[in-house]
Structure 1
Amino acid sequence: MSRELSTIGENIRYHRKKLGLSQDKLSKLAEVAYNTVVKIESGENPNPTIDTLTKIAKALGVSVDNLLKIHENKISKQCQIYKRN
């Protein structure tokens, strides 16, 4: 699983849970297959399309950019690990 894709999946999961949505409910709101949401969140989907990300972002009330962002605390943690090595 690539770093970028796990971040997308983690961000979708974060926003979905923040809204109290199940994966099934999100898939229906976004008009994408349930399996698509599951695979993106787990990192199994290696290439979520822009169309899919746009639909999911709209259903979550966030921008696609928000789904692509790496959180600052993650970067900080990775920097600390790098410095130790």
Structure 2
Amino acid sequence: MTDEFSQNFGKNVNRLRTENGLTQEQLAERADMSRRFLQEVEKGEKIPTVKIAARLRRALKCTWDDLLKGCPDI
């Protein structure tokens, strides 16, 4: 996957988390992941697996379109 993908995905997670009024700790707990991993995702340093992305989507109560907005096709 491209750097552009990871950067946009991370920005979307951060934006959606903020819009939902969640801290990183709260979202990490709801999505069953470490806060450190979530930080790395939001910074565009890590790309989660589809399974983890699905947990983030459910925890953020958003659509796949919301989560993947601006991400290039892969």
Map of 2:50 onto structure 1: 50
Structure 2 unaligned residues grouped into runs of 5+: none
In 2, are the aligned partners of 1:53 and 1:64 still within 8 Å (CA)?
A: no
Runs of 4+ in 1 over 4 A off after TM superposition: none
Residue 65 (1) aligns with residue 60 (2): no
Residue 33 (1) aligns with residue 34 (2): yes
Q: Which has the higher contact order (CA 8 A, sep 6+)?
A: 2
More helix by share: 1
Structure 1 unaligned residues grouped into runs of 5+: 72-85
Identity %: 27
TM-score, structure 1 as length reference: 0.75
* CA distance in 2: counterparts of 1:40 and 1:5, whole angstroms: 7
Offset, 1:36: 1.4
Structure of larger gyration radius:
1
TM-score, structure 2 as length reference: 0.85
